Structure 1
Amino acid sequence: MPHSDDEEIADLEARRRHDAPRFARGLGSGRPRRPREYRRGRAWLAMALAIAVLVLGAVLAQGLLLAAGLVMAGAAVNLFDPARRRRRAQPPRP
Structure 2
Amino acid sequence: MREADDESIADIEARLWHDDPRFARGLGKGRPRRPREYRRGWAWPAMVLALAAIVAGVLVPHGLLLASGLVAAAGAVHQLDTRRRRLHRRRRH
TM-score under structure 2 length normalisation: 0.65
Match of 2:34 in 1: 34
Amino acid at match of 2:46: A
Which runs of 5 or more structure 1 residues have no equivalent in the other structure?
none
C-alpha deviation, 1:3, in angstroms: 6.9
Name whichever structure is richer in helix by fraction.
Answer: 2
Percent of matched pairs sharing the same residue = 62
Amino acid at match of 1:64: L
Q: Cα RMSD over matched residues?
A: 2.9
C-alpha deviation, 1:52, in angstroms: 0.8
C-alpha deviation, 1:53, in angstroms: 0.4
Look up the SS of the partner of 1:41 in the other structure. Answer: coil
CA distance in 2, matches of 1:20, 1:13: 11
Identify if the C-alpha distance between structure 1 residues 75 and 14 changes in structure 2 by more than 3 Å, giving closer, same or farther: closer
TM-score under structure 1 length normalisation: 0.65
Which runs of 5 or more structure 2 residues have no equivalent in the other structure?
none
Aligned residues: 86
Moved over 6 A (4+): none
